[in-house]
Structure 1
Amino acid sequence: MAEVKPEELKMIKESKLYYPDSEKVKKSVLGSMDAFNALLRRSWEDPEGFWADVASDLYWIKPWEKVMEGKMPYFKFFVGGVTNPCYNLIDRHLEQGADNKLALIWEGEDYQTKFYTYRMLYSEVCKFANVLKDFGLQKGDRVAIFLPNLAETVVAVLACYRLGVLFNTVFSGFSVRALRDRLINYEPQVIVTADGGYRRGREVPLKSKVDEAIEGMESIQAVVVVKRTGSEINMKEGRDYWWHELMAKARLECPPEAMEANEPGLVFYTSGTTGKPKGIVHSSVAFVVNNYIYAKFHMDHHPNDMFWCTADIGWLTMHIWGIVGALSNGVTTIFYEGALDYPRPDRFYQIIDKYRVNKLFTAPTAIRMLMRYGESWMETYDISCLDVLSVVGEPFNPEAWHWAYEKLGQKRMYINNTWGQTETAGCPLAGAAWVTPMKPGSCGIQFLGAQLDVVDEDGKPVPPETPGNLIITRPIPMMVRTLWREPERYIREYFSQVEGCYFTNDAAIKDRDGHYWVTGRIDDVFNVAGHRLSTMEMESAIIECEGVAEAAVIGVPDPIKGLIPVAFVTLRQGYEAGSEMEQAIKHKVIENIGKIAVPGTIYFTPVMPKTPSGKIMRRLLKEIVVGGEIKGDITGLEDIGTVEQVKAIVAAKKTQG
């Protein structure tokens, strides 16, 4: 169980509720706190009736026979109900006369822009769906998408939804090795990529990475390439095709594929506790139903909203909020390609002012970055349009919360700090914008239909204000259904710890107001700037470096990124520590995973604190780096003297700066 510092517990106990402005409450989707509280109670006491009402807002080809069936780990929602996800994200709005309403705005890092109405987006999606059909793809087949935040990325995702083709988006910043590992496990038939992308003014090669990653892969039938940078790339005849050439010949209409609510729709890879990425399988239709209602209330979505999710398409956050949550609610969604502070720290404010963004979804890391730059960068822009800010990805410290509330929002903005995982899809801990009271730093309450608890090591509930393990005791439609080709691991990873419950591997505290505070991970996975990384995945990369005998990676607090990786490395005999070895290690991590996983600091140590069985006690390493002292139990160490040796090495490096 993750340790909670006394000052953190004191802060939680003394936290106060911030009640939303009464006039804003009246203008919210539900119009009153009482109405939302009644809906919340119904969702817990009558979940079948609640979910039936939610699903009835959407279009169905065939109604469901049963709302809920089974329990964790095997459960279903809207059993027998048939519809199509893409139809509910686009066609449904066209039927209501939204043809000329703006659906998607794309802005590149180089200031290029594209605009799509719902009718225009419909046409592009139908054309690319026909492209995929012409490759022979049908329901249940697989597409991998290795693209940055382009308009074509949204089109590709929606086309897969339209055909019932499973899709997987891979973060475009990943290395060839990380991409290949995922593709080998997933075995896609078609890959969608680009010649390159832009990041901080530099061109990022994408097609060349794909060429290397798919070498020898027999499942690949075609690679579709978006022309973004215009750079010269290798195009293999009979396998590689230009997006624009295929689209120019594609048919304008494509009927949506009928899908049962629980059929798989997307496979999303996330770092696992064993280091091997896990393929999280989500349903298609049930995923849409759940995130439709969650986004509506988390963001207080109204038809004329201008919504911006700053996440990369390689993270599920963008799918939940920027695509499904936004389009199911019929709002305008913004896709931005580049870094939020490039070419200057005011790019973030520039976009908000330019498009009059009133609903914003980002990561605490982004807020802390803006804090670091200071308020002067926002002074030349009118960002008074901001109405709701929601965040997810890592703990949102109260200092950053107050800065966002007072400086970014001028005390006129609702802040919704949420909690969710790739496995949970949306956020079962959150507030309802402009309805529920806020608490700086808390993740809000257990949301509509969700039931969570905080338990001890034996799975028994702990009293309020007591640290414990966060579990989910009742399934919701959008939750993970299995792991891709690893059904046994699905049970072992999530359901072997507390019978009948989903084990989040997060530590949490529930306060006396019913607000939850997620305090950190209890396994070896942690978030770096909102990106979930496995310590074992990073350690494996470091050990591949010539001369490295052993490695241990921990996550330590960082004022901007929340956590950053720090590595302890033991070298083989005959190899020397120094800047050359540090660079070799960092290069190997970039090669295997990507720049996001590069250690902020590398400590070379001849010893590691270990148990008699040889397990490295990473908890002690973290205590040494963060506090300089060991407060936890060390009786389980094989050699207590190793602690002092490591402490001296850390202190010496810190002294050197």
Structure 2
Amino acid sequence: MDFVANTDERFNCCEKFMKSAHITDIADYHRIYSLSIQDPDAFWLGIAEQFYWENGIKSEKIFSYNFDVHKDPIDVQFMKGSKTNACYNLIDRIIKSGLGERVAYIWIGNELNERKTITYNELKRRICKFANVLKNQGIKAGDRVAIYLPVSIELVVSMLACARIGAVHTVVFAGFSSQALADRIIDANCRLLVTADGSVRGNKLIKLKDISDESVVICKQRNHNLLACIVVKHLSIDLNDYNNNRRHKYNPKHDPTLDLWWDQLMSDASDDCPPVWLDAEDPLFILYTSGSTGKPKGVVHTIAGYMLTTALVFKYAFNYRDGDIFFCTADLGWITGHTANVYGCLANGATAVLFDGIPTHPNADRFWRIIDENKVNSFYTAPTAVRTLMKFGDDCVTKYPMPDLSLIALVGEPINREAWLWLYHVVGAGKCAIVDTYFQTETGAPMIFPIPGCIPMKPGSATLPFFGILPVILNEDGKELSGANTGYLAFKNAWPSIARTIDGNHERFETTYFRKFPKYYFTGDGAVRDKDGYY
């Protein structure tokens, strides 16, 4: 497959899209980009002023960092000394702006008739309840909580309840084995586990509680004991007879010395929980990314830098306009799910679709049906899914008009030209912007993508860097290559959402990202830059 862009092939957004684009002129992009690089303090201060800070913005210098491993330890600090809370800014701030009764999430289950919605007001109520549940179990600011749940509203509630009280969440993809779960619980020193009885993907029952029980045994064998295991009755969602019948086919074990039922704890908990005000540089979450060798790396992201960057990227990458509906197919166990489906969308007061299923169940038209029925404006998915769905033919797509869809974004890997053009012509009907994003767990948010409306699109290219991002291409000797070239992709400066460390192993963090090319963050990826400066 051809993954390298044709440097002469360009596409511009349609006239209708341009009327709603945040930036419509490439000159305006270059002007804002130059400011963000030349005066990052002023640029990010302007973004920070849109958020709430309990003691005001206290940093004399908004941004400071060291990328030279030979000079001092690698260090990034953003707004240190300012107090804030991510949950407050994502939920309370949005409610105070008058959007409390807006739908925050549309949850769609594995089956066609599984659908629930929740408003910002109700989401806050549940978050506060679960935050009190955590506190009642002895969880406090700085403690780590492992979350092993399917894509669900309860997963979002768990994440933001941790953020509200200053606990650090580590979400583990609910497809990982008991050994992988145990490794992450132990490595992050988690004190509590939130899991579910099970989930169904397609026609497959996944016994999450059994897997969790096995991981607890492994933890005990390695002298790591949990305070509690809180269990969501996910299979017991009383939506239809299929669920009711399915529930009785799997009765997980219950350990009265460890296991607690989510619904019982929530019914007894108060819905009043003031946020804990935390330093901007306090950790928000740990998310594991598989290393090429050795144990997985627990990447640490901090509160303010991650919150501001994800909010800004969400607005521009998806051309978010007030009232838009956003659908990202990524599991919340990955960084894309964290950034797009939770922190980025809620910080903008958006409505997001959470899908707990697979694209081919019960039919290969599932994504297109969801987009059409839920009036989705922006759709974010992976090239692998696109290539899979192409095989089922155009009819699966074209039978759904999808009149509200105006943007399709991509993440996870390069997309080949054929799949890009299929998205543009068949799925988007020539009216949708195609936004190909370059993104890593460690970067916290997309770094390179065509801001829709101002940067012409090229099939196979992520195009130009976002505000505040300074990519370079290096040769084997660490020399910067100019013009059209091929080499190693690195970043020359820091940005607010860059990971701060690998949990418990800063030396590994420095070795992995900063020793091969001192003074640069090395992505580990190769890149091509064309004659137009597109990556």
TM-score between the two structures when normalised by the length of structure 2: 0.93
Quick one: distance in 1 between partners of 2:234 and 2:7? 52
Q: How does 1:387-536 map to 2 (within 5 A)?
A: 387-516=406-535
Secondary structure of the residue that 1:103 maps to in structure 2? strand
Secondary structure of the residue that 1:474 maps to in structure 2? coil
Q: 1:271 is matched by which residue type in structure 2?
A: S
Quote how far apart the aligned CAs of 1:23 are. 4.7
2:81 corresponds in structure 1 to: 80
2:381 corresponds in structure 1 to: 362
Over the aligned positions, Cα root-mean-square deviation in angstroms equals: 1.5
Quote how far apart the aligned CAs of 1:22 are. 4.4
Secondary structure of the residue that 2:190 maps to in structure 1? coil
1:222 equivalent in alignment to 2:223: no
Q: How does 1:95-106 map to 2 (within 5 A)?
A: 95-106=96-107
Contact 1:187 1:219 in 2 (8 A): no
Q: Aligned pair in 2 of structure 1 residues 26, 364: CA closer, same or farther (>3 Å)?
A: same
Q: 2:144 aligns with which of 125, 142, 145?
A: 142
| Matched residue count | 509
Contact 1:71 1:474 in 2 (8 A): no
1:237 equivalent in alignment to 2:239: no
Unaligned runs of 5+ in 2: 68-73, 236-246
Q: 2:66 aligns with which of 53, 67, 71?
A: 71
Contact 2:490 2:521 in 1 (8 A): yes
Identity %: 37
Q: 1:172 is matched by which residue type in structure 2?
A: A
Q: 1:469 is matched by which residue type in structure 2?
A: Y
Q: 2:52 is matched by which residue type in structure 1?
A: Y
Q: How does 1:83-232 map to 2 (within 5 A)?
A: 83-110=84-111, 111-215=113-217, 216=220, 217-229=223-235, 230=247, 231-232=250-251
Q: Aligned pair in 2 of structure 1 residues 81, 37: CA closer, same or farther (>3 Å)?
A: same
Q: 1:343 is matched by which residue type in structure 2?
A: P
Secondary structure of the residue that 1:80 maps to in structure 2? coil
Quote how far apart the aligned CAs of 1:286 are. 1.4
1:344 corresponds in structure 2 to: 363
Quick one: distance in 1 between partners of 2:330 and 2:16? 31
Quick one: distance in 2 between partners of 1:144 and 1:320? 18
Q: 1:107 is matched by which residue type in structure 2?
A: I
Secondary structure of the residue that 2:151 maps to in structure 1? coil
Contact 1:105 1:116 in 2 (8 A): yes
Contact 2:378 2:407 in 1 (8 A): yes
1:36 corresponds in structure 2 to: 29
Quote how far apart the aligned CAs of 1:32 are. 4.3
Secondary structure of the residue that 2:499 maps to in structure 1? coil
Quote how far apart the aligned CAs of 1:30 are. 4.0
Quote how far apart the aligned CAs of 1:218 are. 3.0
Quick one: distance in 1 between partners of 2:11 and 2:126? 44
Quote how far apart the aligned CAs of 1:438 are. 0.7
1:264 corresponds in structure 2 to: 283
Contact 2:52 2:93 in 1 (8 A): yes
Which moved further from structure 2: 173-182 or 355-364?
173-182
Higher alpha-carbon Rg: 1
Task: Write the deviation string for residues 541-597 of structure 1: whole angstroms up to 9, x where unpaired.
Answer: xxxxxxxxxxxxxxxxxxxxxxxxxxxxxxxxxxxxxxxxxxxxxxxxxxxxxxxxx
Unaligned runs of 5+ in 1: 517-657
Greater RCO (CA < 8 Å, at least 6 residues apart): 2
Q: 1:209 is matched by which residue type in structure 2?
A: I
Quick one: distance in 2 between partners of 1:31 and 1:161? 36
Contact 1:13 1:465 in 2 (8 A): no
1:50 corresponds in structure 2 to: 43
TM-score between the two structures when normalised by the length of structure 1: 0.76
Quick one: distance in 1 between partners of 2:58 and 2:331? 34
Secondary structure of the residue that 2:492 maps to in structure 1? strand
Quote how far apart the aligned CAs of 1:113 are. 1.6
Quote how far apart the aligned CAs of 1:61 are. 1.0
Q: 1:439 is matched by which residue type in structure 2?
A: K
Contact 1:106 1:151 in 2 (8 A): yes
Secondary structure of the residue that 1:416 maps to in structure 2? strand
Quick one: distance in 1 between partners of 2:385 and 2:453? 22
Task: Write the deviation string for residues 467-501 of structure 1: whole angstroms up to 9, x where unpaired.
Answer: 10000110101011000111111111111011111
Quote how far apart the aligned CAs of 1:34 are. 3.7
Contact 2:6 2:458 in 1 (8 A): no
Contact 1:69 1:79 in 2 (8 A): no
